[in-house]
């Protein structure tokens, strides 16, 4: 694996190989075998988990980190192109982790970089490292990836974590339930791709009647930074807000995932329930990103 840009067309054996490697790292802290290597984290958009878990992963593997998380303090503020910024970062570092609001930005970066580029989110398009940690967490919590009943809930139009995750489902053939507020449904192209891959799905406005069937609820926030309309967030999420009452008929194995940050789509009272698994999911990001760094840098 040279670059990690997209989950589209990612072979099943590549995915499972990375998950197995992450599993080893979770069970036994890996050796510091990236000593002398440098990761550049180039974040043109805010991040807590992705950037800091990559930086922690790199340091725990013995490597070092340079980069920025406020593009306003770089020469892009003076008008430098993304490509020129990446050309320069590739002179300093051994791999580049990039987050940028433009769809396709990571692919543009990879065109001019002779070092591996890792897409940490390009607009509404893709977030492949999140998908790998999501799959890791689904497998860890359910003991398998195949044939699960999965609800994808929230802003399915703009949510890059959902788009990225869906591209891997052709390998695992879940039954999918799509729950989104009006106007924020999954784009037609993605629905067509699900049909083309023979994945069973249905679209819903509310979650309550589906809860008893589910193994996984994958909840996302409304991506208000991706559109101009003023929104009343609490009103929009009301039909599917996850509360202890909503979960009463759930199967014992149901786990709730969320890439985070959450706003008010999950009641904090849910955190204490055995169904809540989003903080374990976030922790798994460290092991999955160690596996990714060890793969692209060795």
Q: Which residues here bind ligand CP, judged by CB under 6 A?
A: 47-50, 130, 259-261
Closest separation in Å from C-beta 159 to ligand CP: 10
* 78 given a catalytic annotation: yes
Minimum CB distance to ligand CP smaller for 47 or for 149: 47
* 195 given a catalytic annotation: no
* 99 given a catalytic annotation: yes
- Residue 261 CB contacts under 8 Å (≥ 6 apart), including other chains: 48, 221
- Catalytic, out of 3, 25, 37, 127: 127
Closest separation in Å from C-beta 91 to ligand CP: 26
Minimum CB distance to ligand CP smaller for 50 or for 168: 50
Minimum CB distance to ligand CP smaller for 201 or for 265: 265
Minimum CB distance to ligand CP smaller for 48 or for 202: 48
Dihedral in degrees, nearest 10, Cα atoms 73, 77, 79, 80: 20
Please give the C-alpha separations between residue 284 and each of 54, 139, 271, 277, in angstroms, as whole numbers: 12, 12, 17, 11
Return the half-sphere exposure (C-beta side, CA atoms, 13 A cut-off) of residue 117: 28
Closest separation in Å from C-beta 33 to ligand CP: 25
* 49 given a catalytic annotation: yes
Query: Is residue 198 a contact partner of residue 169, using CB atoms and an 8 Å limit?
Result: no
Query: Is residue 272 a contact partner of residue 12, using CB atoms and an 8 Å limit?
Result: no
- Residue 285 CB contacts under 8 Å (≥ 6 apart), including other chains: 49, 50, 53, 129, 130, 133
The rounded distance, in Å, linking the Cα atoms of 213 and 215 is 7
- Catalytic, out of 21, 26, 49, 163: 49
Minimum CB distance to ligand CP smaller for 106 or for 211: 106
* 127 given a catalytic annotation: yes
- Catalytic, out of 27, 73, 78, 230: 78
Residues facing residue 119 across a β-bridge: 98
Q: How far is CA 17 from the centre of its chain?
A: 18
- Catalytic, out of 51, 60, 99, 115: 99
Closest separation in Å from C-beta 53 to ligand CP: 8
Closest separation in Å from C-beta 261 to ligand CP: 6
Residues marked as catalytic? 49-50, 78, 99, 127
């Amino acid at each position: 694996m040279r670059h990690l840009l997209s989950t589209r067309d990612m072979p099943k054996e590549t995915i499972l190989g990375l998950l197995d490697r992450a599993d080893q790292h979770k069970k036994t802290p890996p050796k510091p075998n990236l000593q002398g290597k440098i990761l550049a984290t180039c974040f043109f958009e805010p991040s807590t988990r992705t950037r800091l878990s990559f930086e922690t992963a790199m340091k725990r593997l013995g490597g070092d980190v340079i980069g920025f998380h406020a593009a306003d303090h770089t020469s892009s503020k003076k008008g430098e192109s993304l490509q020129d910024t990446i050309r320069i970062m590739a002179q300093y570092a051994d791999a580049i982790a990039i987050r940028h609001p433009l769809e396709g930005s990571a692919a543009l970066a990879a065109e001019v970089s002779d070092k591996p580029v890792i897409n940490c989110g390009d607009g509404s398009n893709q977030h492949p490292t999140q998908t790998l940690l999501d799959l890791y967490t689904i497998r860890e919590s359910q003991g398998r990836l195949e044939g699960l009943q999965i609800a994808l809930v929230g802003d399915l139009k703009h949510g890059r974590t959902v788009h990225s995750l869906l591209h891997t489902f052709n390998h695992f053939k879940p039954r999918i339930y799509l729950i989104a507020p009006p106007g924020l449904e999954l784009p037609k192209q993605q629905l067509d791709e699900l049909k083309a891959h023979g994945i069973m799905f249905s679209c819903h406005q509310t979650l309550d009647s589906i809860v008893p069937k589910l193994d996984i609820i994958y909840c996302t926030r409304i991506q208000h930074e991706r559109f101009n309309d003023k929104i009343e967030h609490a009103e929009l999420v009301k039909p599917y807000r996850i509360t202890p009452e909503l979960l009463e008929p759930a199967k014992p194995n149901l786990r709730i995932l969320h890439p985070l940050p959450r706003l008010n789509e999950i009641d904090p009272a849910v955190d204490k329930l055995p169904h809540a698994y989003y903080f374990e999911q976030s922790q798994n990001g460290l092991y999955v990103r160690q596996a990714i760094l060890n793969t692209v840098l060795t």
